[in-house]
């Protein structure tokens, strides 16, 4: 939908560079997916004993177990939050073996089946995981990972390792599209937000407002924060363009949701400071029934 005359336009993502203006800021998430899926076996510490009444236990102990590392909780000792499969058979106290040099113990269980595991000390832990691990492809890619997926399942600007899933919107970008954006003089900045367990977590609450997402670590450099502040200043100077009678437009929705996200995730940025026009517009926009009905839940 065209911004000023509201006429429809049909396009594809390759047209994206031409939709940007010279004073726009494009912020990219430079996180990189690491091979977080480990395959191994278990000791059987917490399993039923092998007996004539339970002969299947012997075969089960030979079966493969799967661990998906989702978040490092502690460096010393080296403890991780993870998902395990088969989940019902891997209890607290179970020992997991991934190779002769990498093993872990299950030390706690989470509310929705996730586990906390503690790895035995090993030299160059992340190097070992890089060598043994598998890229955690999403469920809709119905096959085992291939060696080429270590590069294929990444954005072209990924370099900060730490995600268990790619920020999929960024997969549309190609080096050619980024080059066209640079050629047009569009400013680009990078943040790092590691995608974690929340991307796999189903909504179990009756009300979506009661759904709790897992925390995800992020980093915003001083240079990127400065670029975002400049973009907010430019938006404040154009706040009058957001005033519109009639049906709400995509430009208002995207601006309002972006500012609400800053309130929710980055209140320390205090984006309203010195931007009275933008703050006034957002105050009115936030009174819309759709905004009032969908506030982030406390503690999310």
DSSP characters over 100-156? TTEEEEEEEE-TTS-EEEEEPP-TTHHHHHHHH-B----TTS-S---TTHHHHTS-T
| Per-position b or e across 41-52, b if 16+ CB within 10 A of its CB | ebebeebeeeee
The mean-pLDDT minimum among 75-84, 183-192, 234-243, 279-288 falls in 234-243
Would you list the domain boundaries of the chain? 13-32+150-292, 36-132
User: What percent of the chain stands above pLDDT 90?
Assistant: 61
pLDDT value of position 6 = 62
Q: Which fold has domain 36-132?
A: Thrombin, subunit H (2.40.10)
**Selected residue with higher pLDDT from 298 and 8:** 8
pLDDT value of position 98 = 96
7-57 per-position pLDDT tens digit = 777 889 999 999 898 889 999 999 999 999 999 999 876 555 555 565 555
251-293 per-position pLDDT tens digit = 889 899 999 988 888 888 899 999 999 999 999 999 999 899 8
135-159 per-position pLDDT tens digit = 999 888 899 999 999 999 999 999 9
């Amino acid at each position: 939908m065209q911004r000023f005359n509201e006429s429809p336009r049909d396009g594809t993502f390759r047209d994206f560079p031409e939709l940007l203006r010279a004073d726009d800021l494009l912020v990219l998430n430079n996180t990189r997916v690491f091979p977080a899926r480990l395959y191994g076996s278990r000791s059987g510490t917490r399993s039923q004993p092998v007996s004539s009444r339970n002969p299947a236990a012997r075969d089960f102990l030979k079966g493969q177990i799967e661990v998906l590392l989702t978040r490092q909780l502690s460096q010393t000792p080296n403890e991780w939050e993870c998902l395990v499969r088969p989940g019902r058979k891997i209890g607290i106290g179970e020992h997991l073996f991934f190779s002769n040099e990498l093993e872990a113990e299950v030390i706690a269980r989470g509310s929705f089946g996730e586990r906390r595991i503690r790895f035995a000390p090993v030299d160059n832990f992340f190097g070992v995981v890089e060598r043994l691990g598998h890229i955690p492809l999403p469920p809709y890619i119905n096959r085992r990972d291939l060696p080429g997926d270590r590069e294929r399942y990444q954005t072209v600007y990924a370099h900060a390792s730490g995600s268990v899933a790619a920020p999929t919107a960024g997969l549309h970008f190609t080096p050619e599209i980024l080059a066209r954006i640079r050629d047009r003089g569009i400013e680009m900045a990078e943040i790092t937000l590691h995608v974690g367990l929340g991307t796999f977590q189903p909504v179990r609450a009756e009300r979506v407002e009661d759904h709790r997402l897992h925390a995800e670590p992020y980093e915003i450099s001083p240079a990127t924060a400065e670029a975002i502040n400049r973009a907010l200043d430019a938006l404040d100077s154009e706040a009058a363009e957001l005033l519109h009678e009639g049906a709400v437009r995509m430009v208002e929705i995207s601006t309002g949701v972006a500012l609400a996200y800053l309130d929710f995730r980055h209140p320390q940025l205090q984006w309203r400071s010195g931007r009275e026009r933008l703050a006034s517009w957002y105050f009115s926009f936030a009174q819309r029934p759709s905004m009032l009905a969908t506030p982030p839940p406390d503690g999310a």
